[in-house]
Amino acid sequence: MFKIAPLNNQFDHLIHNKINNKTKPLGALGQLELIALQLVKILSQTIKSDVEFTAFKAEICNPTLVVFAGDHGIAAQGVSIAPSEVTAQMVANFVAGGAAINIFCQQLGWQLEVVDCGILEKSPASKVHDCRLGNITAPLNLHMAMSTAQVKQGFSNAKSLVLQLKQQGCNTLAMGEMGIGNTTSAAAIMAAILNLPVTQCVGRGTGVSDELIARKINVVEQALQLHKAHLADPIALLAAVGGFEIVHITGAMLAAAEQGMAVIVDGFICSAAAMVAIKINPIVKEYLIFAHCSNEQGHQQMLSKLEVKPLLQLDLRLGEGTGAALSLPLLQAALGFYNHMASFADAGVEQVV
């Protein structure tokens, strides 16, 4: 479903020269220089010649953050501090503008979109995109969470949404999630892909007790044993232990990369989706920028295994895409210095090597 072009290395020498000739010591802007390199490569994919590239100015246009919501059947087994009904309540809060992600998007300049991927109570709000795959997934330790047909439909939904955003001028896409029980699903995905003990993958989510941690570990171990025949294939893995929102996030990452968009990855749940996306098409990783390392156990190890360095470390564990939202000023700063900072020649400053 997704044909992703590898990033073009044709202009790497021009990008490196431009960064290195800014009025600063070599490498002095640290990770911002790496982000500038990646962003410029992503956003210049349609450029063909050196002359055209020299005149090109990479800019973040209509940055959009999409919160995907889905309910998990596993929540009924007490793996979270909240019942599944809270998912729909939070979707209503997103629509009303009262959540943390609303505030951050308003402050920082993101367009916010909310997607119902399959929650217990369908949102009546016209502002919510209807991409429902059902009301709730099946309990992943007792059944397949969903069918492979639902996974493929979720990918199709995500692709259509991304195309719509692209047509509206978006070239930078971030994703967030809402779904009671989804850290359990993400932990199962992590354990399956990285072949790690479940105890290293299951964390406290939004703040569960030691008793609930033990329950989550048991649930994930049951699920992995039940679905061991399905864990190697990424589509079957999503069907076995995924969530409706995780399916859509995975599909949206692949679709955004296909459209040449920068993809900003949020925390533990979205990073689990990113791992699945990379298994489906490894080239997608070239388009992924990891916003932050969350306070969820396993996320740091997940990022380490992916060999990526996140922009922020703020001990966040909220979800909703909050970490991704907070990264936007850094992305804009990276392109700001790249586009506008004087070179040594421009400023008449002697270059020190």
Provide the pLDDT for residue 206: 64
CATH topology for the 62-328 domain: Rossmann fold (3.40.50)
CATH topology for the 9-58+333-345 domain: 1.10.1610
| CA atoms within a 13 Å half-sphere pointing along the CA-CB vector of 346 | 9
Question: For the segment 42-94, what is each residue's pLDDT rounded down to a tens digit?
Answer: 999 999 999 999 999 999 999 999 999 999 999 999 898 899 999 999 999 99
Q: Is 320 left (phi over 0), alpha (psi -120 to 50) or beta?
A: left
Query: Could you tell me the residue ranges of all domains in the chain?
Result: 9-58+333-345, 62-328
Chain-centre distance for alpha carbon 39: 16
Provide the pLDDT for residue 279: 98
Low-confidence ranges of the chain (pLDDT < 50): none
Residues 60, 53: Cα–Cα separation, whole Å:
16
Q: Confirm if 177 and 266 have CB atoms less than 8 A apart.
A: yes
Q: Confirm if 23 and 71 have CB atoms less than 8 A apart.
A: no
Q: Confirm if 1 and 37 have CB atoms less than 8 A apart.
A: no
Provide the pLDDT for residue 297: 85
Residues 161, 179: Cα–Cα separation, whole Å:
20
pTM over 0.75: yes
Provide the pLDDT for residue 210: 83
Provide the pLDDT for residue 1: 79
The two beta strands, 64-70 and 111-118, are: parallel
| CA atoms within a 13 Å half-sphere pointing along the CA-CB vector of 194 | 25
Tokens of 342: 């004087």
Residue with tokens 């996140």: 310
The two beta strands, 172-178 and 64-70, are: parallel
Question: For the segment 133-143, what is each residue's pLDDT rounded down to a tens digit?
Answer: 999 999 999 99
The burial class, CB within 10 Å (0-12 / 13-18 / 19+), for 130 is exposed
Question: In one letter, which amino acid is 119?
Answer: I
Show which residues are catalytic: 320
